[in-house]
Chain A
Amino acid sequence: MADLFSKWKEGLEKTRKATFGRIATLFGATQINSDTWDELEAILVQADLGIETTEEIIQALKQRVVQEGLTRTEELQNALREVLISRLDPTPTIDFSSHKPMVILLVGVNGSGKTTTAAKLGWQFSRTGKTVLLAAADTFRAAAVDQLQVWGDRLGLPVIAGQPNADPAAVAFDAIQSAISRKIDIVLVDTAGRLHTRYNLMEELKKIHRVVGKALPGAPHAVWLVLDATTGQNALQQAKAFKEAVHVTGIILSKLDSSARGGMAFAIQQSLGLPILYAGLGEKPEDLQVFNREAFVNGILEKNGQ
């Protein structure tokens, strides 16, 4: 556990320095006054929580201040931490044993980090003793297949790839067939990035989803949306559209080690009920971590160096 938390702290270090560090100074002031609320609004909005969620949180906190008779900003900070944590579901543990192979579909907009995440997930699963197959079903973007192939070679994971511009659904189908005959535990299907507003591309994704189900009834067993933590308010629309199209079951927050704070996670959890499963905290394969809401919220509220 110590190792896990330190990874989070390291990854979020920059985040805290960049902005949330200011919470420490804000709440260093002792008494709650009207400025406190304005500054709290500024901080939450700047963390991409969105004005709506921010206002909800401030309302909830104001209520607590009255009900519990809070006067000190230190008490407010604790209340804020509790409110933020309570707005995120505890990360569900993923059951890998009920299906063989377990098929996981990775989806998302262009540049969110799907291919890198697929490789990192594959490495992590294989470290727990599972056999993993990567399916390079992004046959559209130039060299996306090569990108996953390089990762596969580096990490010692088998990759099933299609020819450029081949039907991605066919690649996914082949990969699952091959996984069944090779008795693989987990298949990770990397799909092409697509903007959620592109009708034909979303239809293509639905087709991949359908064909995966034909290759193995019940599959895909999980559909994970890879979301760039730097994304602003559009993240909610993305999550909504992908959920409607292919029944997304969870979110992976990539690039959380950048200066971005990933505050949209709160709105997505709130309005779509989608849990955050993993967080990308660095470039290395082990930097992809199981999402930990306490660490996430603590990390961003903690004073520097504590």
Chain B
Amino acid sequence: MFETLTQRLEQIFTNLRRRGKLTEQDVDAVMREVRLALLEADVHYSVVKDFVSRVRERAVGAEVSQALNPAQQVIKIVHEELIKTLGEPQWLNLTGPKPRALMLVGLQGSGKTTAAAKLARLLRSQGERVLLVAADPYRPAAVKQLQTLGEKVGVPVFYEEKVPPPLLCAKAFDHAQKGGYSVMIMDTAGRSQLDDALMSELKAITEKVPVADILLVVDSMIGQEALHVAQGFRQAVNLTGLIMTKMDGDSRGGAAISIRSVTGVPIKFLGTGEGIDALEVYDPSRLASRILGMGDVIGLIEKAQQAYDEKTAREQAEKMMSGRFTLEDFANQLRQVKKLGPLAQILEMLPGQLGQAAKMVDPKDAERQLKMTEAIINSMTREERLNPDILNASRRRRIARGSGTDVQDVNRLIKQFREAQKLFKTLQKTGGRGMPNLFG
């Protein structure tokens, strides 16, 4: 499923290779696929509808940039709008009178207890004095679960048997105040937003305790219902943020869009693993790409756009194809690649199967290789770069010394370069068939 949007869009990319302004047809062709992608990502039906018509309006007539084709341009706009909808990450409301009371709410099994412990660990590591409150007396052993996790992260857990949650939380707040705690995290029971009795219990807690943050904890695998769940909780209590859990799975997490558009509350954290430290501040651009199901292609496009000098690229392509490609050109290309940023980051941005393949590459290793290659080329004279044939044994030794490598490394590079040259020559003879289009 992960490849689908990228694959479908590639189809469109090949059909649309014009420049100029985006036409209605360009936009519609792409928006059809975007709509499907968003529905497959579990974004709510009505939210998708609004979103698609908003983006369509913005995209028609927009100028197509030099480095992109029309379809890419539409996707870029879609991506920007998604990021805008998702909003900036926000930190907890921790300034003000202590202790700050945080409350976690959500459906059964969404991951509240785990998130509470992860938050406790994070805040404690930042020097806060944290108290956890076990306010779920209903699920068997939920209290024990929080106590075990509290022990693991070194945070005390407040609990009294047979005390209803609102009173329990009030007592806990009192205890936190007297005990000099700076943050108190209340783990509440899972509940359906349709359960009136349990929803009024939440309200009762907020009446007894001055709550600084009410965080809705949502399983990232949730379907269309996310919208109604968020609406229901927002009606009962004053939500201030969202935590998406189980993001280490392969769900696309479209619920984030639905929830953001009905509640407007910011996304504060993502749960990304079973480990107690697997809680991350979210990055809107990456989440947007994930929801679209396309890796961070947009980030790549933008980086390419910044680094890309069309004139030089065309000259180089021509040189390559004519076989007049020299080590000097090779050095230029390396510099362009480097402008894209750290390799590790680039590899992470690759979509689908390419991304899977990239996981097999050790980015540190690749980075080292790249550095070594550059050092070797930089240790050559201009004459040597333009005409590698003159590289005899003594020159090679000098280059190795100059670049801090071995003669074998220099030999390997020259051999690779020769092979590449040969490949380009053959490609030229076959008319360039099979040559991958580097700039889409």
Contacts and interface: CB of A to CB of B under 8 A. Distances in A.
A55 B94 CA distance: 48
Interface of B: 1, 36, 39-42, 44-46, 107-111, 139-142, 144-149, 152, 192-194, 219, 221-226, 228-229, 232, 246, 248-252, 254-255, 274
A198 B246 CA distance: 11
Given A141-B145, A150-B140, A255-B108, A230 B222 contact: yes
B144 A260 contact: no
Most buried by B among A109, A238, A258: A258
B224 A142 contact: no
Given A45-B39, A109-B221, A142-B149, A195 B249 contact: yes
9 contacts: A14-B192, A48-B223, A50-B39, A110-B109, A111-B109, A196-B249, A231-B221, A258-B192, A260-B225
Nearest to A110: B246
Secondary structure call for the B interface: loop
Closest 7 CB pairs of A and B: A232-B223, A111-B109, A232-B42, A150-B140, A142-B148, A143-B145, A146-B141
Contacts of A195: 246, 248-249
Given A42-B45, A45-B39, A234 B109 contact: no
A259 interface: yes
Contacts of B45: 42, 45-46
B191 to A, nearest CB: 10
A264 B225 CA distance: 12
Interface string A96-132: 0000000000000111110000000000000000000
Nearest to B191: A258
A120 to B, nearest CB: 12
A197 interface: yes
A46 B41 CA distance: 13
Contacts of A233: 1, 40-42, 223, 251-252
B222 A231 contact: yes
Interface residues of A, number: 47
Most buried by B among A140, A150, A260, A263: A260
Contact of A51 (B36, B139, B250): B36
Contacts of B40: 50-51, 233
Interface of A: 14, 18, 42, 45-48, 50-51, 109-113, 140-144, 146-147, 149-151, 154, 164, 195-198, 228, 230-235, 237-238, 255, 257-261, 263-264
B221 to A, nearest CB: 4
Given A146-B140, A258-B107, A232 B194 contact: no
A258 B140 contact: no
Given A142-B149, A147-B142, A150-B140, 18 more contacts: A46-B44, A48-B223, A48-B225, A110-B111, A111-B108, A146-B140, A197-B248, A198-B248, A228-B221, A230-B225, A231-B223, A232-B226, A233-B41, A233-B223, A235-B223, A238-B221, A259-B192, A259-B225
Contacts of B146: 142
A113 B108 contact: yes
A257 B314 CA distance: 62
Contacts of B149: 142
A232 B224 contact: yes
Given A147-B139, A232-B224, A142 B144 contact: yes
A46 B249 contact: no
Contacts of B193: 259
Contacts of A164: 148
A255 B110 CA distance: 12
Contacts of A50: 39-40
A167 B78 CA distance: 48
A259 B147 CA distance: 31
Given A14-B194, A259-B192, A259-B228, A234 B251 contact: yes
B141 A147 contact: yes
A142 B246 contact: no
Contacts of B229: 230, 259
B425 to A, nearest CB: 44
A207 B156 CA distance: 36
Contacts of B152: 142
B109 A112 contact: yes
Nearest to B112: A111
A164 B146 CA distance: 15
B221 A197 contact: no
B145 A18 contact: no
Most buried by A among B110, B192, B246, B251: B251
Contacts of B145: 141-144, 146-147
B249 A147 contact: no
Contacts of B223: 48, 230-233, 235, 260, 263-264
A143 B141 contact: yes
Contacts of B44: 46
Most buried by B among A195, A234, A258: A234
B144 A146 contact: yes
Contacts of A154: 140
